[in-house]
Chains A and B, each alone.
Chain A
Amino acid sequence: MLKQLSVFVENRSGSLMNVTNALLDADINIRAISSFDTPEFGILRLIVDEPEEAKAALTARGFVVRVGDVLAVELEDKKGSLNAMLKILADGNISINYIYSFVIRENQAPVMVFHTDDIEEATQLLENHDLIIVD
């Protein structure tokens, strides 16, 4: 399982930058970032190298921050691999709350990050199908 940061942000100019700036000052490396088109406020999701330090740095600046578990699966960079992963989950009746991706530079592999309410079950299912869970 991978740790993800969720940060409450208001929809106005500069609010994302305020987050990244605080992380820069705390010498935190961002691996992935995602946010969705929502009215008035949103939740910024981040994968960083030091999640607890990042939370401390952001909280000290007055942000509301949550560190939580997400599943990250390393896929092969070829057609159909995402579909195969999603099929395993769908067959197992696991629903996904949100999903985004990033790339591990060293081995050029795409990583799908997703959140589900059934994290244990999903992990088990994916491992049974020999998928690589990143942590």
Chain B
Amino acid sequence: MPTALDAIAALKGKWVGVKDRASLDHPAINVPAADLLAVLGSLKADHGFDMLTDVSGVDWAIGTSPRFSVVYHVFSTTGHEYVRVSVDCADDAKPQVPSAAGLWPGADWHEREAFDMFGITFAGHPDLRRILMWDGYPYHPLRKDFPLAGIETELPDAEVTAETKVGAIAAPMMGGPFVASSGELNMTDAEPRAKDESWTERRPKPDA
């Protein structure tokens, strides 16, 4: 029974851009965006990784480059192994990778979610629009520059906003849970509890 490590060795022999990726559990590789579909297709067709279980966007912090990555987890329903495939988005301002929806129809929703949350576009996606937030929502909430409290926006239904003069109000953070971000501040420094006091209800929010 060929294993995930054999598959990765074969992939590395075929595409020079495929590199090992540090991982604490499953075998993992970094793939250049140009080779992504070929590598995923080969994993699926030649190595039995027939199920795409997860597609996840990652924001590696403001100011790093590459800032965005897309991480795929493929699973073999016969060999019962995972392989993690990560692809970096070359352009930090307009992150884009090719869409895997042609290989797995299940990738459709996962990629819509990554687009919704991170603003990563997937070239060749059949129907790339928001999935969890509403159409017309102006932000990508899982980006690291989006505040936890949220940003006030108009409600999706313009008529309701006009009638009630109420938008989607940012969450009040005073007295909220501990708020700190990994790597930025430790918990002690992050007190008082609001991560950024300029976002509380007492002070006006800066323009979005």
Asked if A and B are interacting partners, one says: no
Q: A residues near B, CB below 8 A? A: none
Q: B residues near A, CB below 8 A? A: none
